[in-house]
Amino acid sequence: MSLIVQKFGGTSVADAEKIRAAARRALRAQQQGNQVVMVVSAMGKNTDILVDLAGQVCEDPSPREMDMLLSTGEQVSVALVAMAIHDLGGKAVSLTGGQIGVRTDSSHTRARIQSIDTSRMRTLLDEGNIVIAAGFQGVDQDLNITTLGRGGSDTSAVALAAVLGAEMCEIYTDVDGVFTTDPRLVASARKMSHVSHDEMLELASLGAGVMHSRSIEFGKKFHVPIHVRNSGVFTDAPGTVIGPIAESEDRPVSGCALTKEEARITIEGVPDEPGASLSIFRRLADLNITVDMILQTPGSEGKASISFTVIQGDLSRALAAARDASSELGAGPISHDDTVCKVSVVGLGMATQAGVADRMFRALAESDINIQAITTSEIKVSCLVKREQGLEALRAVHAEFELDRPPAKVAPFEASQEVAQAADLAAVVSGLQAMEDLTVQGCELDESQALITMANVPDQPGISADIFEGVAAESIIVDMIVQGVGGDGKTTLSFTVPAKDADRARKVVEAIADRLGGDVTSLASVAILSVNGVGIRSHTGVSTRMFRALSAAGINVELISTSEVRVNVVVAREQGDAGLAALAAAFEDVVK
Ligand SMILES: Nc1ncnc2c1ncn2[C@@H]1O[C@H](COP(=O)(O)OP(=O)(O)O)[C@@H](O)[C@H]1O
Ligand SMILES: N[C@@H](CC(=O)OP(=O)(O)O)C(=O)O
């Protein structure tokens, strides 16, 4: 008998009527011949209310007690959903995370699932029950209640679907599916018929709150088809399938997103030598702080400037860590800005098409928005801008890439489902032992690139657009772009291009420097080392492990860029082979 998991977010169980509607939907799926596991979140804004309450009682609540408190929200809703099903004549049993056997580590408020025991759920299902599982929670080995981080019910649902070998994991929410951007922020946003795991991973971690990014890691790792749908409509109209296939192959950008609550920290005067990045990011990883944009730009006299962003809530802890690292390194000064936000574009197509970054930069410049920092990966470009301009920036890039219009050639919806359903259950089962372990697919060395740096550029709207339009006009594909944070009205931009195009790219940049000011330097050939896999950024230890391995091998990092699926660093060409060997050894235990 087929099994489906249906997850109902807080918005879909916000009141008694919605709870009854969710119950009817689950019963209908059961009547259609499926076994049904529901995963339910706390009603409406109940988790926010509990967080607020804790804040009124105490300034700095203990994470353990926070979990004890927040988990009650889901306990209320699962019981009510079970009662609603009983009332409709169905059989249902509600279970907390602990009762299901969702084992996690002990990182309260951001725990990771270690294993799930399916036996009790299987017995209940075989007896004809709908199982109603509390999302977002588990227990550690001492039976302390843990939670998975805000929005974590999606992760509970996809994890349950993985261990149960479910045919489909349906995510019911208050919108019709995954849109090209948050439809509440941009009215012209368009629902996508499907979106690839890698795009969704990036979008979710870059601000698309419709899905919890770790749920996508599970979906990708365990081949779980995920279908995001609207709980408020009574039709069976398809929503968005998150699977291996992108909606369109020829479109460079699939979606865009905004993270509002960003904070930026910059450490200047960091000695440009092996181990410097390690000293900083090791401390942040030890505190379990997820670092987002990391920008290292070459400075003068053997000193570099390292900037990174964290979510605003982590700022004070991250600043303390930065101060410790800075005094150990003899670096400084340190500055920070907590009035920034990040706008990003994401698309599998940009890996093979020139001219995405420059279009984004031009769209922002035309709205008179200054870009404070840039990072790129194969499938995303992120720009840090003033928070008050965030929404305008999002709308500008959405319009620039015409995301309101469907792509010319859309891969068929059925294809995304078919491929997704060809899941390898054996792989799922073998992955159960340590479900959220890091999956590193491999370490790579690319020796084909050159590095161009333009320092002391006036920090004003339109500079990046000028440079990258000029480079794109020469049909040169830019790989990594890192723009450091400006000081004294100046900024530094570094980027890599294929070595064969380096001379032409340098000429373009020199012409701009002649006009606007700025010092151009280039390295005709560099080595880009990368570690790629699933959920690279949210596993805070990956960069640390990478920097440690390179530092131990005496290799200096010139430039860094990160994404959900990859960390890239640029090192001197002659150190590429040694760097690759060091990384291969460092990640040997986790390469799948
Ligand atoms: N790209 C996007 N597509 C769809 N919804 C998005 C996107 N980005 C952000 N959202 C927001 O996510 C919301 C749904 O997530 P959430 O409020 O957590 O619902 P739930 O309670 O169902 O988990 C939508 O109402 C929408 O405003
Ligand atoms: N109730 C939790 C978990 C969750 O995932 O909720 P939702 O599915 O409503 O985003 C939270 O608010 O964080």
Q: What ipTM does the predicted assembly reach?
A: 0.98
Ligand 1 touching residue 174 (CB < 6 A): yes
Q: What is the DSSP string of 254-303?
A: -EEEEEEEEEEEEEEEEE-STTHHHHHHHHHHHTTPPP--EEEEE-STTE
Ligand 2 pocket, residues with Cβ under 6 angstroms = 9-10, 41-42, 47, 73, 135-136, 150-153
The number of the ligand 1 atom at minimal distance from the alpha carbon of 203 is 1
Among 257-266, 300-309, 322-331, 469-478, the range scoring the smallest mean pLDDT is 300-309
pLDDT score of 487? 64
Q: Tens digit of pLDDT for each residue in 217-247? A: 889 888 899 999 999 987 788 999 999 888 9
> Do 126 and 264 reside in the same domain of the chain?
no
pLDDT of residue 345: 96
User: What is the CB neighbour count within 10 angstroms for residue 143?
Assistant: 9
- By DSSP bridging, strand 439-458 and strand 303-311 are unpaired
Specify whether 302 is located in the same domain as 396.
Answer: yes
CATH of residue 536: 3.30.2130.10
Lowest mean per-residue pLDDT among 335-344, 379-388, 551-560: 551-560
- What CA–CA distances, in Å, run from 196 to 158, 202, 234, 399, 421? 16, 10, 26, 22, 14
Q: Which atom of ligand 2 has the smallest separation from the CA of 136?
A: 3
Q: How confident is the model at residue 273 (pLDDT cuts 50, 70, 90)?
A: confident
Q: Is the CB of 157 under 6 A from ligand 1?
A: no
How far apart are the C-alpha atoms of 403 and 203, rounded to whole Å? 14
Ligand 1, atom 7, residue with closest C-alpha: 182
State yes or no: pLDDT of 420 exceeds 50: no
Question: What is the pLDDT averaged over residues 250-256?
Answer: 91
What is 131-146 written as a DSSP string?
EEEETTEEE-TT--EE
Q: How far is the CA of 454 from the centre of ligand 2 (A)?
A: 44
**Counting ligands in written order, which one lies closest to the CA of residue 170?**
1
pLDDT at 445 over 80: yes
In a domain, 218, yes or no: no
User: Each residue of 549-577: pLDDT tens digit?
Assistant: 998 999 988 878 777 778 888 899 999 99
Asked if residue 71 lies in contact with residue 99, where contact means CB atoms within 8 angstroms, the answer is no
Same domain, yes or no, for 386 and 282? Answer: yes
209 Cα–ligand 1 center, Å: 5
Closest ligand (CA of 137): 2
> From the CB of residue 10, how many other CB atoms can be counted at a distance below 10 Å?
25
Per-residue model confidence as pLDDT tens digits over 197-217: 999 999 998 989 899 988 998
The answer to whether residue 495 is domain-embedded is: yes
Give tens-digit pLDDT for 500-555. Answer: 999 999 999 999 999 888 899 998 889 999 998 877 766 767 888 888 899 899 99
User: Do residue 260 and residue 170 come from a single domain?
Assistant: no
- So what's the pLDDT on residue 89? 98
Task: Give the whole-number percent of the chain exceeding pLDDT 70.
Answer: 94
Q: Which atom of ligand 2 is nearest to the CA of 150?
A: 13
Average pLDDT, the chain: 89
The reported pLDDT for the residue numbered 592 is 64
Please, which pLDDT band fits residue 429 given cuts at 50, 70 and 90?
low
Please tell me the distance between residue 213's alpha carbon and the centre of ligand 2 in angstroms. 13
Q: Helix, strand or coil for residue 158? A: helix
Domain match, 305 and 156 both:
no
**How far, in Å, CA of 200 to CA of 470, rounded?**
31
How many structural domains are present in the chain?
2
Ligand 2: which residue has its CA nearest to atom 8?
9
Residue where one domain finishes, among candidates 154, 174, 194: 174
Looking at residue 186, its pLDDT comes to 97
Q: Is the pLDDT of residue 351 over 70?
A: yes
In ligand 1, the atom with minimum distance to the C-alpha of 228 is: 4
Residue 413 resides in a domain: no
Range among 162-171, 288-297, 565-574 rated most confident: 162-171
Evaluate if residue 465 carries a pLDDT over 60: yes
Whether 535 lines ligand 1, by a CB cut-off of 6 Å, is no
Q: Does ligand 1 lie within 6 Å of residue 11's CB atom? A: yes
Q: Which atom of ligand 2 lies nearest, measured to the CA of 153?
A: 5
Residue 274 lies in a domain: yes
Residue with tokens 């944070």: 485
Q: Is 178 in the pocket of ligand 1 (CB under 6 A)?
A: yes
Q: For residues 457-470, give the mean pLDDT.
A: 84
Domain boundary among 112, 145, 174: 174
Q: Are the beta carbons of 9 and 41 closer than 8 angstroms?
A: yes
185 within some domain = no
Based on the fold, state whether residues 52 and 166 are members of the same structural domain. Answer: yes
Last residue of a domain, one of 113, 141, 174: 174
Which residue carries 């920097």 as its tokens? 547
pTM value is 0.88
**Domain with 120 in it:** 3-174
If asked whether residues 353 and 485 sit together in one domain, one would say yes
- Does residue 203 sit within a domain? no
Q: Is residue 494 part of a domain?
A: yes
Atom nearest to 11 CA in ligand 2: 9
Whether 449 and 565 map to the same domain: the answer is: yes
Q: Which of 155, 210, 242, 391 best tests ligand 1's pocket when mutated (most atoms within 8 Å of CB)?
A: 210
Residues 270 and 394 in one domain: yes
CA of 81 to the centre of ligand 2 (A): 16
Q: Classify residue 21: in a domain, yes or no.
A: yes
**Model confidence at 455: pLDDT above 90:** no
Report the pLDDT averaged over residues 392-417: 85
Check if 9 has its Cβ closer than 6 Å to any atom of ligand 1: yes
Residues 366 and 467 reside in one and the same domain: yes
pLDDT band at 294 (very low <50, low <70, confident <90, very high): confident
CATH number at residue 149: 3.40.1160.10
